[in-house]
Amino acid sequence: MTCQRCGAEAELGLCPGPCRRLLCVACYDGDQEGDCRLAPIEQRN
C-alpha cells in the first residue's frame, strides 16, 4: 500500500490522530511528534 503522507510503498499503520491516515512506519513515528497526534487526555474536552 502507499503511505498517505510521503507516498512510499510500505506496510502501513493507521494514524492514531484525528486525520486517520494510513502511514508508513517513519511517518507514523514522525506524526507522534507533530500536529496530528491526539491531545493528552487532560487537554480533551
C-alpha cell at 20: 486517520
Residue 45 within a domain: no
22 contacts 43 by C-beta, under 8 angstroms: no
Helix, strand, or coil (residue 41): helix
pLDDT at 32: 63
* Interatomic CA distance for residues 31 and 15, integer angstroms: 8
Residue 26 within a domain: yes
Question: 18 lies in which domain range?
Answer: 1-39
Chain segment 13-45, per-residue pLDDT in tens: 988 777 788 999 888 877 666 666 554 545 444
pLDDT at 5: 87
pLDDT at 44: 44
Residue 34 within a domain: yes
pLDDT at 21: 87
Residue 28's H or E segment, with its range, is: helix 25-31
Instruction: Say which DSSP state 32 is in.
Output: T
Residue 14 within a domain: yes
This prediction has a pTM of 0.60
